[in-house]
Amino acid sequence: PETGSVGANGLVERDLNLVVALLAEQKLEALGHSVELTRRNDLHMPIRQRAAIANALSPRAFVSIHHNGGALRRSNDPGVETFHQVGSAESRRLAGLLFEEISAAFEDYWVPWVATVHRGASTRLKEPGLDAYGVLRYTPGVPAAISEAAYLSNPAEAQLLALPEVQENEAEALARAIDRFLTTDSPGSGFRPAFVDGVMTGTGTGKGCRDPDYGSPNELLVAYTAEEYAALVDAATRQGTTVRDLQVFGVHALDFLRRNNGDHVTPLSEDSVPDVRGSMVELTEWTPTERVALARVADTYRLSPAQAQKLGAVLMVFLANLES
C-alpha cells in the first residue's frame, strides 16, 4: 500500500491515519453515533472504492483522516488544513468544525510548527468548479471533508504525533467536530478562499495520495485573474513568444537570480506569495529539464510549483512593462 507522508522517526502516515481513525470510531460510538470505516487494517483502498462505500452508506458525514507533508515555513500555530467540497455548505461547515477542534487540540502543545498559506478550511480545485480530491469529487451527495492534522515531514511534529496521548487527543478532536456537526448548527471557523492546484503540486500530495488519473506529472495548471492573464498575453505578444514559453523563461530567470545570489534569497512574505486562483486557467507542459529548475525555484522560495510558475510569469510581465 502507499505510505503517504513518512516522518524522520519512521512514522508512516497510512499507519497513523488508521490508528487515529480507530480511536475516533471508539469515541464517536461512546457519544452514541454509528460509525463505519473504509478500512480496518493495512490494505490498499483505492479512492474510487472509498467513495463507492460512502455513496452506498450515504452517511450524514464522511471524513477522510490524513496527516500532511511538505511545508517548510515556520508558524506560531499548528498548520492544520481541512478541505471541503466545492459548492457544499454542509461540507464547508464540517471542514470548519474539523479545523476548529483539531487546531484547539494541538494548541496545547508547543513545537516548532510549520504551515502553509492554506492553513485553515478551504477547497482545493483541480480546475475552477471541480474538486481536486477524489474522495470529495466522487461523493457529491454526501457531506465530506478531509483533515490534514499536522506535518509528519516536520521532525518535531512527527515526534509529537508518535505519542499515544497525542493520537488520543486528535481522535477526540475529530469526534467532537463530527458530533458538533451532527447535533448542532455550529458554523465552524478558519475558512479560506478556494484555490486551483490542478496537478496537486502543493503539500499533502506524496506518491499514492493522488488520484491515479490526474495525467502527466509534467503538466502544471495555474489560474490567473482576467486582468493578470491579459497582461501575460500582452507581454508574450510583445516579446514575440508564447504564454507557455514566457512562464518557463520566467522560472529560469528566477533560477538564474538564485544562483547569482549563491542561494541566498529572502523568502516571500505571506502577502507576496502568488495567488494561483482565478478564472483563466493555463495548463503548461514542462520538460524534465525545465521541471528541475522549477523545483529548485519552488524550494528556494518555499512555494508550490504552481506558485513558482506564477511568480515567474509575474516577473516577466514586470520586465516587459519596464521595456515599454
pLDDT values of the chain reduced to their tens digit, one per residue, 324 residues: 566 788 888 899 999 999 999 999 999 999 999 999 988 887 777 888 888 888 888 899 999 999 999 888 899 999 999 999 999 999 999 999 999 999 999 998 989 999 999 999 999 998 888 999 999 999 998 999 999 999 999 999 999 999 999 999 999 999 999 999 999 999 999 999 999 885 554 454 434 444 444 334 466 777 788 899 899 999 989 888 899 999 999 999 998 888 887 767 777 887 888 887 777 777 788 887 788 888 888 888 888 788 889 999 999 999 988 865
Residue-level pLDDT at 40: 86
What is the C-alpha separation between 139 and 179, in angstroms, rounded?
21
Residue pair 258/296 in contact (Cβ under 8 Å)? The answer is yes
Residue-level pLDDT at 273: 84
Multiple choice CATH, 13-196, 3.40.630.40, 3.40.50.300, 3.40.640.10, 3.40.50.2300 = 3.40.630.40
The runs of H, that is alpha helices, within 31-163 are 47-57, 89-106, 134-137, 155-161
Q: Where are the domains of the chain?
A: 13-196, 219-323
Residue-level pLDDT at 324: 57
* Residue 313, CA distances (Å) to 189, 192, 266 in order: 33, 24, 19
3-state secondary structure of 208: coil
Using the structure block, give the residue that is written with the C-alpha cell 470510531.
25
3-state secondary structure of 262: coil
pTM > 0.75: yes or no: no
Distance in angstroms between the alpha carbons of the first and the last residue of the chain = 55
The runs of H, that is alpha helices, within 127-242 are 134-137, 155-161, 164-183, 226-239
Residue pair 68/81 in contact (Cβ under 8 Å)? The answer is yes
Residue-level pLDDT at 285: 82
3-state secondary structure of 80: coil
| Helix (H) / strand (E) containing 296 | helix 288-301
Residue-level pLDDT at 231: 92
Query: Which residues neighbour 198 within 8 Å (Cβ) at sequence distance 6 or greater?
Result: 125, 126, 127, 132, 220, 221, 222, 281, 283, 306
- The cell for 11 is 512514522
Residue-level pLDDT at 215: 37
To 10 degrees, what angle do helices 164-183 and 13-30 make? 50
Residue pair 78/106 in contact (Cβ under 8 Å)? The answer is yes
